[in-house]
Amino acid sequence: MADVFIHPGRLHGTIEPPPAKSDAHRALIAAGLAGAGQGVTGLPEVMPDDLLATQRCLRALLDGQPLLDCGESGTTLRLLIPIAAALEPGRRAEKLCFVGRGRLPQRPLAEYRAILGGAGAELQFPAAGSLPLYLQGRLQPGTFRVPGHISSQYISGLLMALPLLSGPSRIVLTTPLESAPYVAMTLRTLASFGIAVDVLPDGYHIPGGQHYHPAAYCIEKDYSQAAFWLTAAYAGSTLELVGLPADTAQGDRAIVGLLDDFRRQRDEYRIDAAQIPDLVPILAAAAALTSAVTRILHAGRLRLKESDRLAATRQALADLGADIEEDDDGLVIRGGAFSRRDCREGRLPGGTADSYADHRIAMTLAIAALSTEHGVLLRHAEAVRKSYPTFFQDFQRLGGVVDELDLGTQS
């Protein structure tokens, strides 16, 4: 499935979102460190590429293999770097090499050198701050100063690693924490596997000498993926979502309130994306169908995702006829102001758009296609394998009409 044509229409039925990928990454690693990889339940029947990368790399790490292939998974990479550095001699290879594919080798890692440098672990970047990364030496307890505005995965990785050291450590946040719900998820997972962390006003205190203990852990259903189906319902589909947790650390639960706010039909919306960056593409699509001006702010970190996700979101939705602009830090969407007038109110014209090999862009375009006049030819639809490999099967089961196309090897 490289290219598909998605017809306009409406979805109907009941859908249970897949397990939360962010929750699963953390639980799989914690269970592996506890020596009880079978204790995690609720994993998807068809594993996304990202979770396969975590399983593969964790197994290689604990088996003493020197090469860790993270595929295209930034979460796998950022969580496992400090964990690998914290493992005691004999539990891993003396010198490790992290590699990846797609856009991952271009995504920055130099912050880890600043965070971990001088604490016993040596990081070498032959390619100027990105992959491949060579790691040797063992991390020592101490104080780790981390900017809170960079990826929360740096902080989550340290929180999972530092309990393995012989003595206590501190993480000091030097700037306000963004994507805080993901760190809260990490803390909840750690507590489930017997790891204690003290939350401080400026960071965290982590006692050393701790051990991960086997635990029965069930992965939550994913609000990040539910956001696509919830947006389809906002746009007129008749869907019932089941299985989503009411009590959760998932920050993307915010999609429920944001769509409710859109239903109030105000003239202008301002959405701070600092804590919910993964929602930005599908929120932009919902905003394009809302008769208002929507400003999405504090989303600059999206430029370092599987694509430049700000630019990709703007271009993809503009290709469907939306009035959308980007700046350094966000997006402005003028809902209802479409590039052509040959369509009904509340519908985009449609057209050809590219996922830019980004799973969230691909799923956003599929949902947006339902509310187009002429449908969408979606390039590189296979990107959904990264996080939701059964997305199009679910889409079709709910009544979506998708034609697979054979367009050769065009790009």
Known catalytic residues are 278
Helix pair angle (223-234, 254-263), 10° resolution: 10
CB 13 within 8 A of CB 399: yes
CA-based nearest residue to 208, from 174, 165, 145: 165
3-state secondary structure of 22: helix
CB 99 within 8 A of CB 81: no
The helix (run of H) or strand (run of E) holding residue 205 is strand 203-206
β-bridge mates for residue 205, sequence order? 170, 198
Cα(342)–Cα(354) distance, integer angstroms: 23
CA angle 112, 278, 8 (to 5 degrees): 150
CB 135 within 8 A of CB 98: yes
Cα(288)–Cα(368) distance, integer angstroms: 9
Residue type present at position 82: P
- Residue 270: exposed, middle, or buried by beta-carbon count in 10 A (0-12, 13-18, 19+)? exposed
List the beta strands (DSSP E) in 228-308.
Answer: 238-241, 268-272, 293-297
Contacts of 49 (CB under 8 A, 6+ apart): 71, 72, 73, 385, 386, 387, 389
CA-based nearest residue to 165, from 86, 249, 67: 86
Residue type present at position 89: P
Residue in the structure block whose two tokens are 């409710």: 260
Beta pairing, strands 268-272 & 95-99: unpaired
C-alpha R_g of the chain? 21
User: 343-382: buried (b, 16+ CB within 10 Å) or exposed (e) per residue?
Assistant: beeebbbbbebbbbbbbbbbbbbbbbbbbbbbbbbbbbbb
Beta pairing, strands 169-173 & 143-146: parallel
3-state secondary structure of 113: helix
3-state secondary structure of 352: strand
